[in-house]
Amino acid sequence: MVDTNQILVVEDETTQRIMLVEYLARQGFRVTGVPDGAAMRRALQRGEPDLVLLDLGLPGEDGHSLARYLREQHPKVAVIMVTAAGSTVDRIIGLETGADDYIPKPFEPRELLARIRSVLRRAVPAATQPTGPRVAMGRRTLDLEHRVLLDAEGSEERLTASEFELLRLFAENPNKPLNREWLLEATSHREAEAFDRAIDLRITRLRKKIEVDPSHPDAIRTVRGVGYVFVPPGA
Ligand code: CA
């Protein structure tokens, strides 16, 4: 992935802001840091970033209000909310006000980077996805535009949001073993609580939907000690 994406960091604590800006710049992003909502609005007038890293606790207008503003006025800009503590209430409100993800303080820089990349990947418009609109998976075909599974007769089966995101990740990474924790992380952003076995349960459900023989999975195979790999038909 080429990280020339632009990130706007909104954080009132100077040390934290400088640390974030420098860290993300070292990762190859174009980064700007601002201390409050008023400066954020001015920065947006100069041009839209791909993503805003938004501190919840700001002087003046707080992160919730700014997230709502971003959703309404700049719907293409992805938002990751930085919450003070890991309280469930903050997380849920954060997602309800339009953030794409949240990360509680304190966080590891690497975890933040993983979330930024995950959110930016989801934000890529469908038209530029290299996999095209339809991907054969097992005995069925994933329709990326309509978010459904099709069978040979063209009948559709609906997918939950997390099922679809999981299949899309597989479709975008054929023949590449994907780590369980990473899959869980990348697909659990809309759920208040992610639990460890959730990814295995989803895989089991998806295998029933796409495998010719779900008890001997061929399309989504288990990679011991790592996670799972999607193998396209005929590969
Ligand atoms: Ca703050």
Q: What is the pLDDT of residues 59-69, one digit of tens each?
A: 999 888 998 89
How far apart (Å, rounded) are the C-alpha atoms in residues 22 and 37?
21
Query: Roughly what angle, to the nearest 10 degrees, separates helices 180-187 and 161-172?
Result: 130
CA of 10 to the centre of ligand 1 (A): 9
The closest alpha carbon to 209, from 170, 178, 173, 177, belongs to 170
Calculate what percentage of the chain has a pLDDT beyond 70. 84
The sign of the CA dihedral 178, 199, 209, 129 is negative
Cα(11) to centroid(ligand 1), Å: 6
Q: Distance, CA 173 to ligand 1 centroid (Å)?
A: 37
Distance from Cα 140 to the centre of ligand 1, integer Å? 48
65 and 87 inside one domain: yes
Better-predicted residue by pLDDT, 134 or 34: 34
Q: Is residue 190 one of the residues assigned to a domain?
A: yes
| 150/119 same-domain check | no
The segment with the largest mean pLDDT, out of 7-11, 108-112, 135-139, is: 7-11
Residue at which a domain ends, from 100, 123, 146: 123
Alpha-carbon distances, residue 124 vs 76, 119, 182 (angstroms): 10, 9, 19
CA–CA dist 140, 210 (Å, integer): 5
Query: Among 104, 123, 142, where does a domain finish?
Result: 123
The CATH number that applies at residue 151 is: 1.10.10.10
Q: How far apart are CA 36 and CA 63, in angstroms?
A: 9
Tell me how far apart the alpha carbons of residues 75 and 46 are, in angstroms, rounded to a whole number: 16
For the stretch 39-52, pLDDT in tens is: 999 999 999 999 99
- The model's pTM is 0.54
Contacts of 42 (CB under 8 A, 6+ apart): 34
Please give the angle made by the CA atoms of 175, 232 and 220, to the nearest 5 degrees.
70
Residue 179 has pLDDT above 60, yes or no: yes
Q: Are residues 66 and 158 in the same domain?
A: no
What is the domain count for the chain?
2
In a domain, 235, yes or no: no
**Which of 50, 69, 68 minimizes the C-alpha distance to 9?**
50
Please give the DSSP secondary-structure letter assigned to residue 84: S
Do 86 and 147 have their domain in common?
no
Tokens matching residue 42: 């001015």
Amino acid at 111: E
Report CA(84)–ligand 1 centroid distance (Å): 8
If asked whether residues 93 and 164 sit together in one domain, one would say no
Q: Please tell me the distance between residue 146's alpha carbon and the centre of ligand 1 in angstroms.
A: 39
Q: What angle do CA 48, 54, 60 make, to 5 degrees?
A: 105
Cα 39 to ligand 1 centroid, rounded to whole Å: 14
User: In terms of domains, do 179 and 81 share one?
Assistant: no
CA 18 – ligand 1 centroid, Å: 13
Q: Euclidean distance between the first and final Cα of the chain, in Å?
A: 24
More confident of the two residues 23 and 175: 23
User: What value does the CA radius of gyration of the chain take, rounded to a whole number of Å?
Assistant: 19
Confidence (pLDDT) at 38: 95
Residue 129: inside a domain: no
How far does residue 161's CA lie from ligand 1's centre (Å)? 32
Same domain, 11 and 105: yes
Task: Please report whether residue 117 resides in a domain.
Answer: yes
Residue with tokens 């469908």: 126
Q: How far apart are CA 35 and CA 63, in angstroms?
A: 12
Q: pLDDT at residue 29 above 90? A: yes
Range of the domain at 167: 134-230
* Judgement on whether residues 139 and 103 belong to the same structural domain of the protein: no
